[in-house]
Chain A
């Protein structure tokens, strides 16, 4: 699965979150592997439905 697909599934906006995989920032086109530690750093307030 690509990070961009995971972000879409989780509802994380790509302009508002930076993916971090195994401790370092990661490109959204990266394919994830079993055991990867994936986090999303929220870089801005992005309330839905405002």
Chain B
């Protein structure tokens, strides 16, 4: 027997909000998520923008695209919307790409699918196959860096002024805590919402779901029946998994700590940013021309490593 929604009191509940201990029906949950996302988008999207959603076909980026399409229809801002999907060449990705195609078709949103192999000359399936045992980086690390480079390049070529990602509150909190643990304060400052890079080649990123927990995203996507792929990539490894587990355990003991921690970190990042203490000087990567702090960008450094392991030349498009 489903309990009644604690907000409307009439419909059956489908989800428990941990921080408030409320049971919500699908309509009230989506309304609550929509309110948080729209209020963030009011600050992040400007008239005349062309927003490219980095669409993997998973629940997070699918809900981000769905809500951006709703926001566009609500006409609070006048902007163009499109979606970009990078095919990393793994079996896991295939169902995500199909879901992405179905969602963009349903929403009538322009969709560009690019192959990692077509852009970089290598894909994740091959990276996984050529990495020696106990190599210093996982396939996951290469995948993330090569994919971000591809999304920025394609977004810029498509005339996008903002790239929207599906990162939710849990993702953003984990990233900040990982950067904090590594002492990488500049990375924390750079990863703010809509932060403009000193280089015009970097398309500013926005995270419409930064105020929505992962489990809320999942419940809303299930309720809305979005054609989204559930579950995380099976190749996921590294520090993030441990950080996630630790925060989740903390959340069980202190409900609401996720929102409190993130809010505290945003304040800290804001203070550091306004103080101007962290500045970066960017130049062009010698190989691909993209902005970097060194002579060769991280993506090209990684591709040089992979080139040696693969014993053949990769692509370094300028």
Contact = CB atoms under 8 A, between A and B. Distances in A.
Interface of A: 13-16, 18, 20-21, 24-31, 33, 41-48, 50
Contacts of B214: 15, 43-44
B16 A27 contact: yes
Contacts of A31: 1
A-B pairs, 9 with minimum CB distance: A15-B248, A27-B16, A43-B218, A27-B23, A50-B242, A25-B14, A27-B13, A45-B232, A25-B219
Contacts of A30: 1-3, 13
Interface residues of B, number: 33
B252 interface: yes
Contacts of A16: 248
Interface string B244-261: 110010011000000000
A24 B24 CA distance: 13
B15 A25 contact: yes
Interface in B272-304: none
A16 to B, nearest CB: 7
Contact of A25 (B170, B222, B241, B244): B222
B137 to A, nearest CB: 18
A46 B2 contact: no
Given A43-B218, A44-B232, A27 B15 contact: yes
Nearest to B24: A27
A43 to B, nearest CB: 4
B222 A20 contact: yes
Interface in B2-16: 2-3, 13-16
B18 interface: yes
Contact of B222 (A24, A45, A48): A24
Contacts of A25: 14-15, 26, 218-219, 222-223
B92 interface: no
B218 A47 contact: no
A48 B249 CA distance: 11
B316 interface: no
Contacts of A43: 59, 214-215, 217-218, 230-232
A23 B187 CA distance: 42
A41 B236 CA distance: 18
A45 B3 CA distance: 29
22 contacts: A13-B248, A15-B215, A15-B251, A18-B15, A18-B215, A24-B26, A26-B14, A27-B2, A27-B14, A27-B24, A28-B16, A29-B16, A30-B2, A31-B1, A41-B230, A41-B231, A42-B231, A43-B59, A43-B217, A43-B230, A45-B241, A47-B245
Contacts of A50: 241-242, 245
Contacts of B222: 18, 20, 24-25, 41
A45 B236 contact: yes
Contact of B219 (A15, A18, A47): A18
A46 B248 CA distance: 9
Given A27-B14, A27-B15, A27-B23, 18 more contacts: A15-B214, A18-B218, A25-B14, A25-B222, A26-B14, A26-B15, A27-B2, A27-B16, A28-B16, A29-B23, A30-B1, A31-B1, A41-B230, A41-B231, A43-B217, A43-B232, A45-B232, A46-B244
